[in-house]
Amino acid sequence: MSFGVVTRFERNPMESDDRICPEKEEDIWAAIDELHGAERGRAYYELSNFAFAREQYHRSLALAEMARDLFVELEQCYEGLAYSQSSIAISCAALSERKRAIEEMTKAVQYFEQYSIQGENDKRRTLITWLYEENRQDEAFSLIEKNIEHALYEEQLLQCGIEYKKYADGLCQLNREEEAIEKYSLAREKFVECKEVERVADADFHIGRCYNHLRNAIEAEKSLERALSVYESAELEDELAKTRAQLGRAKLLLNDCNEALGHFESARKIVLKQDDINFYALYRIQANMIRAMRGIGWDVEADLIEKRNSVINEVLQIDNADA
């Protein structure tokens, strides 16, 4: 597993009106020996960005470290220190040095916070994403809480909702559905205030899915029906498929196998219409169709679907059709 794509800054965040460091790479190299102090640190930072843009990640890392070391010695250019530390982390991520990337970005976030440098929330979000990808969700939650606190203080309602949803996603990964429902509900409130119709529907879908995992079919159905109404109105095919599949699961929990089968068949038709068929989704939908069919007494039809699924599973080795 590799970290998500991370881009570097297009411009030097340490720019000032009286900057001495040239802008072009060849000019920086030509002038490097004449630069001193913070300007030399800026030069290494810029050169690191140029190397990163050419996917020369080892070179980018080395130059970012040189910039960082200079700023540490100066004990005054805190912005340069924070941004060069961030560049080290991003270069490590590009090199798939995941553990070190997290360690270096943690230091960068601390610098951004300590010296009140603009961009600290974005750095925290990058770190949160990396921690999630490494299944270190508990470490990420305190960072999300800081972003939520900042968004509330700045009255950034939409961003606050996004942060709550991110929190809930992590809780779901840890199978802490009841806590996740609470966070998704808070996200939903913010999305309603911002009149974000599709985001509200997405929150409803996730709340419904959590209730399914808790085997609370009645509450699951309520939330999923709300999400379905929006997705049908907007004709959002992917969202319709997954919502129909979850509604089918809720109906199975209620032993309403006929209604469940109808939802699963609708979800299956949507998946099969796609140019690039998601066989993982198809397998899971068909696995639930088998359960509904057997509940109705359609054993012959269930056997046929089961035979098809066995071929898919032979290739994909899907262990849990309920995921």
Each residue's pLDDT tens digit, 243-281:
999 999 999 999 999 999 999 999 999 999 999 999 999
What structural domains and CATH numbers belong to the chain? 1-123 (1.25.40)
Alpha-carbon distance of 234 to 243, in angstroms, equals 14
Each residue's pLDDT tens digit, 14-28:
544 455 677 789 888
More confident residue, 7 or 123: 123
Cα 90 from chain centroid (whole Å): 17
Cβ atoms of 109 and 82 closer than 8 Å: no
- Sign of the CA dihedral 13, 17, 21, 27? positive
Alpha-carbon distance of 303 to 96, in angstroms, equals 45
Q: Would the pLDDT of 93 be above 90?
A: yes
- The confidence score (pLDDT) of residue 75 equals 85
Cβ-proximal residues to 296 (8 Å cutoff; 6+ apart), any chain: 257, 258, 261
For residue 105, the surrounding DSSP H or E stretch is helix 98-114
- The confidence score (pLDDT) of residue 20 equals 64
Q: Which amino acid is at 108?
A: A
More confident residue, 6 or 236: 236
> What's the mean per-residue pLDDT of the chain?
92
- The confidence score (pLDDT) of residue 221 equals 98
Q: Nearest to residue 71, comparing CAs of 102, 42, 112, 29?
A: 42
Each residue's pLDDT tens digit, 114-172:
999 999 999 999 999 999 999 999 999 999 999 999 999 999 999 999 999 999 999 99
Instruction: Sort residue 87 into left (φ over 0), alpha (ψ -120 to 50) or beta.
Output: alpha
Q: Which amino acid is at 230?
A: V
Q: Would the pLDDT of 99 be above 50?
A: yes
- The confidence score (pLDDT) of residue 319 equals 62
Q: Would the pLDDT of 285 be above 60?
A: yes
323 confidence band (pLDDT: 50, 70, 90)? very low
Q: How many CA atoms lie within 13 A of 275 on its CB side?
A: 0
- The pLDDT of 100-122, averaged and rounded, is 96
